[in-house]
Amino acid sequence: MNQGYNAKVDPIANSNDPATPSPHESMTQAEGNAAAGDATPTHAGQDPQPSPQAEVEQLRQEVAKLQDQWQRARAEADNTRKRAEREMAEHAKYAVAQFARDLLGVADNLRRALESLPSDKISDPAVASIVSGIGMTEKELLATFERHHIKQLNPLGEPFSHDHHQAMFEVEDATVAPGTVVQLLQAGYTLHQRLLRPAMVGVAKGGVVSAKAGADAETDAKETAEGGVDTSA
Residue boundaries of the structural domains of the chain: 151-224
- Order of strands, edge to edge, in the sheet holding 199-205? 165-172, 199-205, 181-186
Tell me what the mean pLDDT of segment 57-81 comes to: 93
Among the residue ranges 37-51, 140-154, 173-187, the one predicted with the least confidence is: 37-51
Q: What is the pTM of this model?
A: 0.56
DSSP-assigned states of every residue in 76-111: HHHHHHHHHHHHHHHHHHTTTHHHHHHHHHHHHHHH
pLDDT digits (tens, 9 = 90+) for 104-116: 999 999 999 988 8
Whether 38 has a pLDDT exceeding 70, the answer reads: no
Q: Is residue 206 within 8 Å of 175, Cβ to Cβ? A: no
What is the rounded average pLDDT for all residues in the chain? 77
Q: In whole angstroms, what is the distance from residue 125 CA to residue 17 CA?
A: 148
| CATH superfamily, domain at 151-224 | Head domain of nucleotide exchange factor GrpE (2.30.22.10)
Give pLDDT, residue 96: 87
Q: Is residue 174 within 8 Å of 204, Cβ to Cβ? A: no
Whether 230 has a pLDDT exceeding 60, the answer reads: no
Whether 159 has a pLDDT exceeding 80, the answer reads: yes
Tell me what the mean pLDDT of segment 45-61 comes to: 80
Q: In whole angstroms, what is the distance from residue 74 CA to residue 90 CA?
A: 24
pLDDT digits (tens, 9 = 90+) for 83-93: 999 999 888 88
Tell me what the mean pLDDT of segment 137-155 comes to: 93
Whether 184 has a pLDDT exceeding 70, the answer reads: yes
Whether 62 has a pLDDT exceeding 80, the answer reads: yes
Give pLDDT, residue 139: 94
